[in-house]
Amino acid sequence: MKKTVCLVLLLWVFSATAETVSYQLNGQNYEGFYTSAKDNAPLIVLLHDWDGLTEYEIQRAQMLAQQGYAVFAADLFGAGIRPMENADKRQHTGELYKNRAKMRSLIQAAFLKAGELGADKDNAVVMGYCFGGAAVLEAARSGADYKGFVSFHGGLKTPEGQDYTKTQGEVLILHGAADHHIIMDDFAQIGVELEAQDITYEMIAYGGARHAFTVLGGERYHAEADRKSWQRFMSFLEHTLK
């Protein structure tokens, strides 16, 4: 299923607290999405899949705002860059996988912009889907100042030379056991790595769930795994963002 960006329509449907946000990093323009239930609400930075910030991430952001959070859905590719073809998706994600410092800077830029918009940066979690889930773990390894790091069906392999010694917050990994892209060997290995550090973490694998199991309307959508993983995420936020 191809996801499309419908920001104008969504802004009309939802409240005035939802808005597209233009910001810059190193002279390049980015366009994120911000929504908040109230001023100074606990912050969730949401990182997108490999097709960029689309309707799907905005829908999830709105779901979180309805629970009382401020959500900044970051743009990791650049304003107007929403790749449709797999080759283009691989190109844009590949550039960031090769430039981890830039990936980290982009996450930080979104975090700082959310603070400017009124979110509580001292009470924050970062979460992401697929490529965004891998970026979440990059933020965790960087020592970024979040209370929690949540990956939904994200890439789990640790790059050579990195580890979790700097990780400050709790880690939650929600994985599809039938994922043929990110296999259970990867799931087990990151468990070994996290266990070796003094980190509070939890890992859940959902039987029968394939890669991208949370993508609403997608061919690999797994309703039960989506329901259970979202429920666990909600409880994680309740005890992490106080």
Tell me the C-alpha distance between 41 and 43, whole Å. Answer: 6
Map tokens 């790091």 to a residue: 149
What's the whole-number average pLDDT of the chain?
94
* pLDDT per position as a tens digit, 41-51: 999 999 999 99
Judged against a pLDDT cut of 50, whether residue 11 lies above it is answered with no
The pLDDT assigned to 22 comes to: 98
Domains of the chain listed by start with CATH number? 7-240 (3.40.50.1820)
The three-point CA angle 119-167-189 to 5° equals 125
- Say how many CA atoms lie within 13 Å of 177 toward its Cβ: 7
CB atoms within 10 A of CB 43: 26
Q: What is the mean pLDDT of residues 74-86?
A: 97
Tell me the C-alpha distance between 49 and 106, whole Å. Answer: 14
Partner residues linked to 23 by β-bridges: 30
Q: Left if phi > 0, otherwise alpha if psi is -120 to 50, otherwise beta: which for 68?
A: left
What separation in angstroms does the CA of 88 have from each of 82, 94, 99? 9, 10, 17
What are the counts of helices (DSSP H) followed by strands (DSSP E) for the chain?
7, 8
Judged against a pLDDT cut of 70, whether residue 230 lies above it is answered with yes
The pLDDT assigned to 94 comes to: 98
Residue 220: name the closest of 229, 233, 211 by CA.
211
Provide the pLDDT confidence category of residue 109 given band limits of 50, 70 and 90.
Answer: very high
Judged against a pLDDT cut of 90, whether residue 180 lies above it is answered with yes
The pLDDT assigned to 242 comes to: 80
Q: What is the mean pLDDT of residues 187-198?
A: 96
Tell me the C-alpha distance between 57 and 27, whole Å. Answer: 25
Judged against a pLDDT cut of 90, whether residue 2 lies above it is answered with no
Cβ(206)–Cβ(223) under 8 Å? no
Provide the pLDDT confidence category of residue 118 given band limits of 50, 70 and 90.
Answer: very high
What share of the chain in percent tops pLDDT 70?
93
Give me the phi and psi of 179, to 5 degrees please. -70, 120
Judged against a pLDDT cut of 80, whether residue 3 lies above it is answered with no
Provide the pLDDT confidence category of residue 6 given band limits of 50, 70 and 90.
Answer: very low
CB atoms within 10 A of CB 10: 18
Q: What is the mean pLDDT of residues 89-97?
A: 98
Does the model's pTM come out above 0.85?
A: yes
